A = this chain, B = another copy of it.
C-alpha cells in the first residue's frame, strides 16, 4: 500500500516526540508499505517566528512572512530524516520547492494548483521514506508561499490525491473526531466513521481536528482519510463518503468556535447595493465573513452585523472606518466576547424540530442567543464567550448523549 501520513506540530515538538513518530513511520514502512510523510513545524515554532517578525515590523509583508515561516517545516523534515536514519531506515527530506508543490501567489493563504510527482516517485523507487514539508508551496516566480494555518493537512490530502494513495492518515493529539470537544464535555463520544460533508461542517465550525480545505479536497478526490492519535494505538475516525450501512447519529457533532468577533455597522442607508459595498471591501482584502445578519429597514436605515476571525478584526474595522463617507453609517461597533456554537448532522435535514430542540437546550441552561444561522446539515448560534461550557454541555446532553443511549438499546427520542 501507498500510505500518506501527516503529523502535526505537537507530535514533533521535541527530540522525544520526533523519535516516537519516527518509530511509527518505520513500523508502517517495515510492514511493506511505501510511506510519504507530511510534517508541520515543531510545537510553537510558527508562533515564535511570528513574534520575532512583529518585533521588527508589525505589518510585515506577506511574502517575507512566508519566507520566514516556511523554515519551520523544513527543520521538521530534516530532523525527522535524521531520526529515521538513526533507527537504521532510509529516508529523505524535501521542501515544497524540491517536490514542486505549485501554488497560487496569495502569500499566507495560497492554494495548491498542482504537484509534480516525479521526485517523490523516484525517491519511493529508491526505497526511501519520503518526508515532505507541509504548509508550503512555491508560486510561478519560484518564491515560497504558505497555505494558511493548519494547511499541512491539505498538503497531505493533495499528495494522497495526486499519488493515488490507498490511505491518508492524519495524526494529531486527539484520537479521533468526537461528538463535542472532550476537554469540555465529559461524556463526548468518539465517532468511528463520519461523512465528508459532516466533517466539513465540523471543521469549518472550529472543531480544529482537521483543516477545512483538506476535507473539501478529500471529498472531491475521494481520498480515504483517517484521523488518529500520534500517541496511542487507537483506531481513530474514518472520514468517507456516505454509504447505506454507515453508522449514523442524528447529530454527529457539536462544535465551538471562540476565535471570532462580531462587527455591527449601524444606521446604514436602506437602499440596494449597500451590503455589497460593505462585503466587497472585505473580500478585496481576502477577509472571510462567516455569519451575516441584516436587520429589517426602519427610518430608511438598516443595520448589518457579521462575524469574522478575530485576527482580521483590526483590519476590517480600519477598512470600514476608512470608507465611512461612501457607506454613510451612523455607528460602527465590535464585540469580541462571543463564540459560535454549532450542531452538525446529516440526519438533521430529514428531521423537523431540531433547531427548536437546540434553542430549548440553551433556554434550559439560561444562555441568551445573539445570532442564528442554519444550513441543511447544521445550526449555528452566537452566544457570549463565558457560557461556552454550560451551553455545550446542555446541547450535547440534549442531542448526543440521548442518542447514544438509544443506540445502546434505548428508545428513539426524536
By a beta-carbon cutoff of 8 Å, the part of chain A in contact with chain B is 15, 18-19, 49, 52-53, 55-57, 60-61, 63-65, 67-68, 70-72, 74-75, 77-79, 81-83, 85-86, 92-93, 95, 97-98, 119, 142-144
Contact = CB atoms under 8 A, between A and B. Distances in A.
Given A64-B78, A93-B64, A56 B15 contact: yes
Q: How many copies does the complex hold?
A: 2
B85 A64 contact: yes
Contact of A64 (B18, B56, B81, B95): B81
Residue among A56, A63, A142 having the largest count of chain B Cβ atoms under 10 Å: A56
A368 to B, nearest CB: 44
A67 B49 CA distance: 18
Contacts of A68: 74-75, 78-79, 82
**Chain A residues touching B, majority SS:** helix
Contacts of A71: 71-72, 74-75
A83 B56 contact: yes
Contacts of A57: 82-83, 85-86
Contacts of A142: 97-98, 119
Contacts of A64: 78-79, 81-82, 85, 93
Residue among A53, A77, A78, A85 having the largest count of chain B Cβ atoms under 10 Å: A78
Nearest to A143: B98
A82 B56 contact: yes
A81 B61 contact: yes
A13 to B, nearest CB: 12
Would you list the 8 A-B pairs with minimal beta carbon distance, nearest first?
Answer: A71-B71, A68-B78, A67-B78, A57-B82, A15-B55, A57-B86, A60-B82, A64-B81
Nearest to A142: B98
A78 B71 CA distance: 10
A339 B175 CA distance: 57
Contacts of A93: 64, 67
Nearest to A53: B82
25 contacts: A19-B56, A49-B75, A52-B75, A52-B79, A53-B78, A56-B82, A56-B83, A60-B82, A61-B81, A61-B82, A61-B85, A64-B79, A64-B81, A65-B78, A67-B74, A67-B95, A68-B75, A68-B78, A68-B79, A68-B82, A71-B71, A71-B72, A71-B75, A95-B144, A97-B97
